[in-house]
Structure 1
């Protein structure tokens, strides 16, 4: 299963704070272009983010569903993007050094036409996109954490 990782200079709670705000999803997930709605109980198991995938006007309206969650530690998602398919995405947060977090992200296609692709081809597609997603997640978590630390209200 393709995996990427990144050390982020904030504690796991700060990273999870971004993950638990569904309205920020399009800000860090490469390919997600617009959030239409977020279930009120996000990130509870079964809750959904209603989003668009791809550039306008060719975007596809779909959803991402929480399959498992351990607050501050991990989140498993099922990201839909029909007609392309659906992927299982895992995010694991590991305390790393003083006040830092090692984030591991995995993804594999579970349904749709992309499922027939060999794992090596899936990795060629997923790894660069997911590396960029983690870079964006790092920026959001670092910025949001700095604002909270400096006593500024969160947007």
Structure 2
């Protein structure tokens, strides 16, 4: 499992509000380029976001499914993108006092061709992408918070 983290200058509830907005997913998930549909009850367990990954016209139709959720605390997803495979992603929100939140993002490949890659090789791709994802998430969270 590959993990990155970032402290965001916002409460866990503010961070979770962005995670709970499925239509914002392509704004912070690196590689996701277009949201096609978000289940009405997102992010309840079992709900889905249907999105595209990659640049047009070479994009892949992908689905991310909530496998577990604890509002304000954590969100676990399985991102499915064939022919590449699928990955389990866990986002954990840890209060840091004074309105700050450490977001931990852990990911590991759970299916498809990428599963045979050694963890160290997976990390070469996953860590930089997920660091950028958390930077984008932070920008959206802080931007929304300052507009309240």
State the TM-score, normalized to the length of structure 2. 0.99
Aligned to 2:78: 78
Q: C-alpha displacement at 1:62, in angstroms?
A: 1.5
In 2, Cα distance between equivalents of 1:104 and 1:48? 21
Alpha-carbon distance, 1:23 to partner: 0.1
> In structure 2, what is the equivalent of residue 87 of structure 1?
87
For residue 107 of structure 2, what is the aligned residue in structure 1?
107
Q: Deviations over 1:98-151 (max 9, x none)?
A: 100000000000000000000001111100000000000000000111112xxx
Matched, 1:17 2:23: no
* Cα deviation, residue 97, structure 1: 2.6
TM-score of the superposed pair, with normalisation by structure 1: 0.95
Q: Does 1:98 align with 2:93?
A: no
Q: Does 1:48 align with 2:48?
A: yes
Unaligned runs of 5+ in 2: none
| Alignment size in residue pairs | 148
Secondary structure, counterpart of 1:125 in structure 2: helix
Q: Which residue of 2 aligns with 1:151?
A: none
Name structure 1 gaps, 5 residues minimum.
149-155
The RMSD of aligned alpha carbons is: 0.5
Give the ranges of 4+ consecutive aligned residues of structure 1 lying more than 6 Å apart after TM superposition: none
Q: 1:81 Cα deviation (Å)?
A: 1.2
